[in-house]
Amino acid sequence: LKSATAASTPSALPFIGLGTCCDDADTAERLVLAGLEAGYRLIDTAAHYDSEPAVGAALAAAVDRGVLRRSSEVTVCTKVWFSDMGYDAAIASARRSLERLREERLGLLLIHFPGSPDAVQDPKRNRALRASTWRALEDLQRDGLVRDIGVSNWSRRHLREMLATCRTPPAVLQTELHPRCQQPELREDCDAAGIKVLAHCPLAHGAASLLRDPTLCAVADRVGRSPAQVALRWSVQSGVVPLPHGSSAARLREN
């Protein structure tokens, strides 16, 4: 898999990654290992997914089998859940993620959501939580425990507010993105700030509204590819890194 450089950092990201949400531990480990064998070098996980131990086990197995020389060849992206927002809690969350992943350094660490549900009616508190959590990520990066830092599921307002005050701008922003959810304004803001966009749910959870879309299917028929492959190609050609989830080794290779 080829690499593209995230504009705000010197770090290279593959053009496509593998999502690990919603699988049980055995399935997640099996699919991540299959993905590594197929050539994936970007794995997306999160503290809330409960897939970090499986990702760590798959990386170790890939090294044992000679698929990888070292686990650091793979960029692992994980996230701080909203219950761990705040400076001290975010630091502790990152250290737990390192242990579960069996890593000494995280490739990408994101704030999973821009606020805590128990503070949803308190914008001032959520602003403070975002700011203190981001300071924690900045310090983790400064201390060498994280390579790059970013945010997930943030709106244009959240991003603009952050860019006006942060010491270090985010390297990436992860959001739902696919041909039926294109978010052009958010992507424009990210491009202007040199922020690489990662797309979770790039196949819209497998929804028929996307994969049976007449335009998408017509393009797929014309080029001899599946609708899913065309949707993922749309992401790549839009400068976005898609993070599809795969249900089998064959589907991972197809993606």
Instruction: Specify burial of residue 221 (Cβ count, 10 A radius: 0-12, 13-18, 19+).
Output: exposed
Work out the pLDDT band at 4, boundaries 50, 70, 90: very low
- Distance from first CA to last CA of the chain, Å, rounded? 12
Question: 49 an active-site residue?
Answer: yes
pLDDT, mean over the chain: 92
CB-CB contact of 214 with 222 (8 Å):
no
Tens of pLDDT, residues 126-168: 999 999 999 999 999 999 999 999 999 999 999 999 999 999 9
Is it the case that residue 37 has pLDDT exceeding 90?
yes
pLDDT at 188: 97
Residue 108, strand partner residues? 77, 148
User: How far is C-alpha 179 from the geometric centre of its chain's CA atoms?
Assistant: 18
Is it the case that residue 7 has pLDDT exceeding 60?
no
Domain boundaries, the chain: 3-206+236-254
Instruction: Specify burial of residue 35 (Cβ count, 10 A radius: 0-12, 13-18, 19+).
Output: buried
* C-alpha closest to that of 100 among 28, 48, 52: 52
SS3 at position 140: helix
- Active-site residue, from 40, 49, 82, 234: 49
Tell me the CA distances in angstroms from 21 to 135, 205, 234, one per residue in order.
Answer: 27, 11, 22
Tens of pLDDT, residues 58-100: 999 999 999 999 999 999 999 999 999 999 999 999 999 999 9
pTM: 0.92
CB-CB contact of 67 with 74 (8 Å):
no
Is it the case that residue 243 has pLDDT exceeding 60?
yes
- Pick out the residues of the known binding site: 112
Residues 6+ apart with CB under 8 A from 223: 230
- Pick out the residues of the known binding site for substrate: 112
CATH class assigned to 3-206+236-254: alpha beta
